[in-house]
């Protein structure tokens, strides 16, 4: 496994563009890539972000949405077996979840009433048909599970 440098945009997930670099170059006019229209749009966007209350406000709002969704997902059960529909890889105690330990992303698996997992391809296909934006794929929550054990959540 090749480790990614932690000092540049390359440490972000594959496919994440270097928006810090692009924004910095555009706002300082250090590249021909950025037209005056793009620079103006960036300035307008940052002004609007500030008007909304900044990134902390957006972080808090996204966190509240995630917590609400987490509560709703935990309440979904199959009838009459009463088995949970969602296996969620998160802290059990919602009162302990803060933005310091949890971002606005929920890692979960869905399962049939008999406990068999529903494949991520099927989940992705059904969500696409319903115009629900979701990212599917294989996740490896081993690190999270050991962290939960050590923090006694």
Same domain for 119 and 78: yes
Tell me, yes or no, whether 81 lies in a domain.
yes
Structural domain includes residue 59: no
Q: Does one domain contain both 142 and 104?
A: yes
Q: 29 and 68: one domain? A: no
Is residue 26 domain-shared with residue 93, that is, in the same domain?
no
Tell me whether residue 2 is in a domain: no
Domain containing 40 equals 10-52
Mean pLDDT value of segment 34-45 = 75
Task: List Cβ neighbours of 108 (8 Å cut-off, separation of 6 or more).
Answer: 73, 86, 87, 88, 89
Q: Report pTM.
A: 0.63
- The share of the chain scoring above pLDDT 70, in percent, equals 67
Evaluate whether residue 15 is within a structural domain.
yes
Residue 4 lies in a domain: no
pLDDT in tens, 62-113: 999 988 998 999 999 998 889 999 998 877 777 777 887 777 888 888 999 9
Q: Assign residue 110 a region (left: φ > 0; alpha: ψ between -120 and 50; beta: otherwise).
A: beta
Judge whether 1 lies within some domain: no
pLDDT over 80 at 130, yes or no: yes
* CB proximity list for 66: less than 8 A, separation 6 or greater: 102, 103, 104, 105, 106
Residues 45 and 112 in one domain: no
Q: Check whether residue 72 and residue 142 sit in a common domain.
A: yes
How many domains in the chain?
A: 2
């Amino acid at each position: 496994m090749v480790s990614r440098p932690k000092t540049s945009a390359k440490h972000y997930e594959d496919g994440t563009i270097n928006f810090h670099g692009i924004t910095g170059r555009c706002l300082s006019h250090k590249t021909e890539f950025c037209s005056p229209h793009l620079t103006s749009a960036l300035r307008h966007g940052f002004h609007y972000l500030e008007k909304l209350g900044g990134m902390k406000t957006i972080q808090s709002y996204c966190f509240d949405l995630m917590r609400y969704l987490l509560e709703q997902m935990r309440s979904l059960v199959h009838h009459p077996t009463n088995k949970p529909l969602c296996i969620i890889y998160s802290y059990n105690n919602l009162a302990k979840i803060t933005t310091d330990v949890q971002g606005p992303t929920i890692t979960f698996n869905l399962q049939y009433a008999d406990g068999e997992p529903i494949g991520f391809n099927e989940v992705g296909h059904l969500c696409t048909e319903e115009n629900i934006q979701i990212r599917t794929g294989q996740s490896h929550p081993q690190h999270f599970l050991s962290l939960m054990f050590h923090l006694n959540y």
